[in-house]
Chain A
């Protein structure tokens, strides 16, 4: 089975300060994986490597088996269209309404208007906000804004969704809605999800594959240290 997301001995430094050291991971199609670790451990940096916001100092970053770290800058938008990305702070376009926020992701790919209307309606129904199509995004609750961000991330039908602490700014009720939505997308649409979080209670309630990041090193906590040593 081909890897959808892969890090192969990746190291990363910011201004000479090491953040990741020899990290390797591989996610298959349909995986739901949590990326855990304390604040500042480099979890978001791993997502940035996948959407090419940053480049590794060493190693290989692969998307669908293709290395992306040496991709020309002009090709980065096309890589990002294959991914959906959601953030803790939603990163919506505040000068546009709900419909336009989702439609924008389709417009950049040159989708015809008639298709955009249908697709946005479908996505809004999926996240349960079909009735808020014309609302200003600034008046929506945090949970609703995150659902709009997820709808936007899914606009171009990606097979990978990167979620950077998507429940970090939400109350428990809204967090539950978001987690159920992400799991629904994972199961029904077979979208591979890599979710950064430090909320272990969520991981317990919604089980999935786990990777932990500690002192710049990435490891699978389900594998015992002895097993890890024997695999080297």
Chain B
């Protein structure tokens, strides 16, 4: 059985049932566009939330101890699995910052000279570490004699982390609903196309065509609808974020592409459109050509 023939028939089928094909392509276009919009918008919001979470750091202030001991302690902290990075601030640097922040007024220079600002480590935690574990680590570190104090806003950190988690779940749920709905739409459109062509399918079966032979052009038609729908969706999405969103909400500016480049999202949308078209048409043709 010629694959070339099936491809040719798949393309021809697109023209033969224009209304059904256009309906299916449109539903696919909407699904992929929504998925793309959610991905781009959601990714921007997610990045913002992660950046904010990263800004919630832990500061470990040291009692007056030697530089070598502080260095040893820093090495120890850096080895911990819940630590992503650490940054050292010496007493001198802390004093300079104090001066820079408060200027010379109110005797701040004199206060800085008193040498009361301690050396510290600013610790960034790995995002996957649970808040409960971070709190346990804080309590454990506070027990070291070398440690004078630890500043960590657990409540803010917890709130940000739970918002990020919630937004991920909401995104996955919405995307799943869109995906299932679009597969269902393509499935039903192909089913209607098969119903409209039942006499033709019956005639095909009478001359000895196997179900697989009849099915293949329908599947190719579904994939073709996926390609067209996803390419259109990407074009509209690009136009939306390039012109419409900055025009409507100027303070947003140009929303960045996920992972920093347009082609990741373009490819994902193309693959998604192809998969929806492929799945919808395969399921429908498997179920209904047998019965036609």
Interface positions of A (Cβ within 8 A of B): 51, 74, 77-81, 85, 91-95, 104-105, 107-110, 113, 152-153, 155-156
Contact = CB atoms under 8 A, between A and B. Distances in A.
B207 A108 contact: yes
A85 B206 contact: yes
Contacts of B207: 80-81, 85, 104-105, 108, 152-153, 155-156
Interface of B is mostly: helix
A91 B1 contact: no
Interface of B: 1-2, 5, 16, 197, 199-200, 202-211, 213
A107 B204 contact: no
Given A107-B2, A108-B1, A92 B203 contact: yes
Q: Which of B197, B200, B204, B207 has the most CB of A within 10 A?
A: B207
Contacts of A79: 208
Contact of B208 (A80, A95, A113): A80
A76 B2 CA distance: 20
Given A95-B16, A108-B1, A110-B1, A51 B200 contact: no
Given A77-B208, A80-B208, A91-B202, 18 more contacts: A51-B206, A74-B210, A77-B209, A79-B208, A81-B208, A85-B206, A92-B203, A93-B203, A95-B197, A95-B200, A104-B207, A104-B209, A105-B208, A108-B204, A110-B1, A155-B207, A156-B207, A156-B208
B77 to A, nearest CB: 68
B200 A78 contact: no
Q: Which of A51, A105, A113 has the most CB of B within 10 A?
A: A105
A80 B1 contact: no
A16 B131 CA distance: 71
Contacts of A108: 1, 204, 207-210, 213
14 contacts: A74-B210, A74-B211, A77-B205, A80-B206, A80-B207, A80-B208, A81-B207, A91-B199, A92-B203, A94-B200, A104-B204, A108-B213, A153-B207, A155-B207
A161 to B, nearest CB: 13
Contacts of B205: 77, 80
A92 B211 CA distance: 18
A109 B202 CA distance: 17
Nearest to A156: B208
Nearest to B15: A95
Q: List the 3 closest A-B pairs by CB distance, nearest first.
A: A81-B208, A80-B208, A105-B207
Contacts of A91: 199, 202-203, 206
Q: Which of B1, B197, B200 has the most CB of A within 10 A?
A: B200
A110 B207 CA distance: 13
Nearest to A80: B208
A210 B204 CA distance: 30
B204 A110 contact: no
Contacts of B209: 77, 104, 108
Contacts of A74: 210-211
B92 to A, nearest CB: 84
A94 B202 CA distance: 12
